[in-house]
Chain A
């Protein structure tokens, strides 16, 4: 591979970059063959700058971070190029020196704060470990400095927390500890690899702000690696977009989001549910990137995005494209034309497919006149919490779902949002009959499913099906796809062998898969394909309602768009109703006709999707909306919103009255009494709703930003 030398020259000549990657190649040797995870990656990080590295899974963004830190997995090695840190190549320095540089001058934060902390070490010992190793300070001094750094990352009572173990802290707190550990030696460079992916949005916002503040305070540079364009948009100075082991575009953040040049970047942005909603009040069809990323173990020629690009020409397939020079670099032969003096705002994406008006999604859905498919009435689910000791006496009850009521009409999508632990998945599991409610009713087509037994209970399962987040886990790895799809029909004793085969063929057509998948096993498929198979299985019994528990959360943006489109198409064809459970407000906003917001087991707000998202009435909903990172780079606005602080209280002893009052900025004494879910079409359970209902309806669209 021949690279032009011009691309290394930074446009800004004056300062020396803190970190510079030059034509970095990283290979990972596997049992058969070698994966060329990185191919000629060149990046620069200036002192004090935040560089966002964004890409889908397999794009090499994590490998870039690991190559810099020298933490490649077994079989992985940097096979070419240079890693220049403060002008010195880490690849040619002696090992001791490199170890010191990586240990002291760089810090890394990983995705999962649970696995990146040692569960058997006290927080203090763990955070202070780099000091003891690299600076050889004494135990007492290490402790002092640990407490100091914990204070600076915003830990409450750091002098007590140093003696705790990781499991005693919440996810957000653990991530703060991981950040403290990375910062304890005052590094010049912090590499954060998906630091907030495992966290809830409100916690995510706190952590991202913390990283921002610390960057200024310590004067360090940050490499923020993420798959989430929204996270990058609000935080990074410059962005590098990666695809299939290469950097395809780099530019200043505002510039990149205003006018992406590479066709991949453009397609990625159009695939965001956010962009489809913003376009018009209508739910436009998402642009989905067809196909899958290329296999990096095979030799590739030409532009790596060519097979999935809608602007591809023969030239793209044969010519190796290198990054252009200048501030806004891109590696595309047919770039998006640069917009001359484009107004600030999201680009108007060129839509390939016209937006058909989905029949099931009128802009302001009329109250379903027909009898609801699913009607949940005063649903309660408590789990017994066992105390310690031999007898394991019941120490209390975890209130997972408390007095939740809602209806889902035929052909309607009801979105259920909330942070982890709010009980939304439990509602889903109760609705499909996987668990028994402690109190309340779940009516399917007017029949309470709790009272059913035997044969009738089995038939009930035909009406409602569950769609899982991880379809791979939801399929028996030893069954072929034909057996997987036939299983619901066998259980429900539907039809004979021939009829079942015909039904399976129809299902595959519906989800857009070829017949050949029938002879394969689940592990042979990609995430998007598995989700299609999962959807096909859910449809096998021709249910009227599908409960999707985070059905697209594990997928990349481009694949997510494919699955969301498919779900909407099927809804229109088959008149399905969905209960769409997700923590991702933008996805729910795109999919749902009506949205219910849950907090700590309670439904705090229910209403038409547009009203809930654009004119929230409950303070919690508003905080949730404010916390969602948006691709519109507007950090000032993102900081102004009423943020909620602190952590979700334990569901073991939930606060009396309004459960949100412990974190609510508007809380008063009266909040200790339970607010009823009041309102007409847009209901809210709050003593001090942000808006009266009539105003909510009239609020201008686009208030989400």
Chain B
């Protein structure tokens, strides 16, 4: 129904005069930013992430706690007791300070693993999709094979073999999370390869390298960036899973998943302050990244909106 979309078209950008020459010039990034900012949830998500990151990374500068030495005289203090706003845990660590420390690990691992997975996946997928033929088949069968193994099972196996540390967590999570973006980007590359503007460029005498650089990667970047935000959210959850299963970073380092796991032991002791804060923090940061991802998706789609 092309006539339908055409019929609606004149109003698609109502603030645009009939003659495009008169309208103020706005860059694509600017337009995308405007759309992103119109999405209230995306702004909430962004604000939430900034707030959580600020608390975790800047908070310890103002709120000093000892997160190394245990203090068995101050275990399971209720919130507000003896100057501990969120109380203390089973070995006497200040819960608020621990939340900040754990947040640092979660955010660092989440961001780094998400970016690593996206980068590896993008390159893998773009090469496979653009090359096509047997190269594509071989590369994508590797992805299929790895995807067929339950990732949680592999995480546990690997975490049991190697000693968990922050950098090791990043590598382990990144090593399996790249499969999703690889598939996505490969699909994009397959369609972009046959686009008319790529053909037009070949008609000018351009080469495959130029096609990938100037046409395929820039047009796949929307998918990549949007997916990256979801990857970060996933990675934060994976850290939580692993730590929950006791395979996270070893103490005295902390992270939200591990804190949740510890807190679970105290469910029936009424020590709710050990359970809810890390759980809520995980939910908030994952939500924040999902909101941001949704907003980015809208922003990028508008930029590609057909007339």
Known: A57-B3, A461-B205. A33 touches B14 (CB 8 A): yes
The interface stretch among A16-24, A107-115, A375-383 is A107-115
Q: Does B297 reach chain A (CB closer than 8 Å)?
A: no
Which of B10, B197, B204, B206 is A541 in contact with, Cβ under 8 Å? B204
Q: Does B68 reach chain A (CB closer than 8 Å)?
A: no
Docked complex Cα distance between A475 and B11 (Å):
23
Q: Does B74 reach chain A (CB closer than 8 Å)?
A: no
A525 contact set on B, CB distance < 8 A: 20, 307
A291 and B19 within 8 A (CB) = yes
A58 and B196 within 8 A (CB) = no
Docked complex Cα distance between A488 and B12 (Å):
31
Docked complex Cα distance between A462 and B11 (Å):
40
A32 and B15 within 8 A (CB) = yes
A434 and B202 within 8 A (CB) = yes
B1 and A110 within 8 A (CB) = yes
Known: A517-B20, A523-B306. A62 touches B203 (CB 8 A): no
A514 and B21 within 8 A (CB) = yes
Which of A35, A112, A479, A524 is B8 in contact with, Cβ under 8 Å? A35
Known: A476-B215, A487-B201, A516-B21. A297 touches B3 (CB 8 A): no
Shortest CB-to-CB span from A637 to chain B, Å, is: 30
B28 and A478 within 8 A (CB) = yes
Q: Does A296 reach chain B (CB closer than 8 Å)?
A: yes
Q: Does B40 reach chain A (CB closer than 8 Å)?
A: no
Give 1 or 0 for each of A435-474: 1 = CB within 8 Å of chain B CB: 0000000000000000000000111111001101010111
A460 contact set on B, CB distance < 8 A: 205
Shortest CB-to-CB span from A291 to chain B, Å, is: 7
B25 and A476 within 8 A (CB) = no
A477 and B6 within 8 A (CB) = no
Which of A35, A461, A517 is B11 in contact with, Cβ under 8 Å? A35
Docked complex Cα distance between A476 and B8 (Å):
23
A112 contact set on B, CB distance < 8 A: 1-2
Known: A474-B197, A519-B25. A434 touches B203 (CB 8 A): yes
Docked complex Cα distance between A293 and B11 (Å):
12
Known: A194-B3, A461-B203. A529 touches B9 (CB 8 A): no
Known: A30-B8, A35-B10, A478-B28. A491 touches B204 (CB 8 A): yes
Shortest CB-to-CB span from A458 to chain B, Å, is: 4
B205 contact set on A, CB distance < 8 A: 457-462, 491-492
B13 contact set on A, CB distance < 8 A: 524
Known: A491-B210, A521-B28. A34 touches B11 (CB 8 A): yes
What is the size, in residues, of chain B's interface with A at 8 Å between Cβ atoms?
44
B14 contact set on A, CB distance < 8 A: 30, 32-33, 35, 295, 297-298
B199 contact set on A, CB distance < 8 A: 434, 466, 474
Which B223-238 residues sit within 8 Å CB-CB of chain A? none
B15 contact set on A, CB distance < 8 A: 32-33
Shortest CB-to-CB span from B250 to chain A, Å, is: 46
Give 1 or 0 for each of B10-40: 1 = CB within 8 Å of chain A CB: 1111111111110101001000000000000
Q: Residue on B with the closest CB to A30?
A: B11
B4, B9, B214: most-surrounded residue (chain A CB, <10 A): B4
A476 and B307 within 8 A (CB) = no
Known: A519-B25, A524-B20. A295 touches B11 (CB 8 A): yes
Q: Does B218 reach chain A (CB closer than 8 Å)?
A: yes
- Using C-beta atoms within 8 Å of the partner chain, give the interface range for chain A: 35 or more
A516 and B25 within 8 A (CB) = yes
Q: Does B70 reach chain A (CB closer than 8 Å)?
A: no
Q: Does A432 reach chain B (CB closer than 8 Å)?
A: yes
Shortest CB-to-CB span from B115 to chain A, Å, is: 22
Q: Does A673 reach chain B (CB closer than 8 Å)?
A: no
B19 and A57 within 8 A (CB) = no
Known: A297-B14, A473-B196. A57 touches B7 (CB 8 A): yes
Q: Residue on A with the closest CB to B200?
A: A474
Q: Does A346 reach chain B (CB closer than 8 Å)?
A: no
Docked complex Cα distance between A193 and B4 (Å):
10
Q: Does B67 reach chain A (CB closer than 8 Å)?
A: no
Q: Does B64 reach chain A (CB closer than 8 Å)?
A: no
Q: Does A676 reach chain B (CB closer than 8 Å)?
A: no
Docked complex Cα distance between A479 and B17 (Å):
22
Q: Does A131 reach chain B (CB closer than 8 Å)?
A: no
Shortest CB-to-CB span from B34 to chain A, Å, is: 11
A35, A293, A294: most-surrounded residue (chain B CB, <10 A): A35
Docked complex Cα distance between A23 and B19 (Å):
30
Shortest CB-to-CB span from B30 to chain A, Å, is: 11
Interface residues of A (CB under 8 A from B): 28, 30, 32-35, 37, 57-63, 66, 73, 110-112, 115, 193-194, 227, 291-298, 432-434, 457-462, 465-466, 468, 470, 472-479, 487-488, 491-492, 514, 516-517, 519-521, 523-527, 529, 537, 541
Q: List 13 A-B contacts (CB under 8 A).
A: A58-B10, A62-B3, A111-B2, A112-B1, A292-B18, A457-B205, A461-B203, A472-B307, A474-B196, A478-B218, A479-B218, A516-B21, A516-B25
Contacts A37-B7, A58-B10, A298-B14 supplied; 16 other A-B pairs, CB < 8 Å: A293-B18, A297-B10, A432-B203, A459-B205, A461-B205, A465-B204, A466-B200, A468-B196, A468-B200, A470-B196, A476-B197, A491-B201, A516-B21, A519-B25, A520-B20, A525-B307
The 4 closest A-B pairs by CB, nearest first: A35-B11, A461-B205, A33-B14, A297-B11
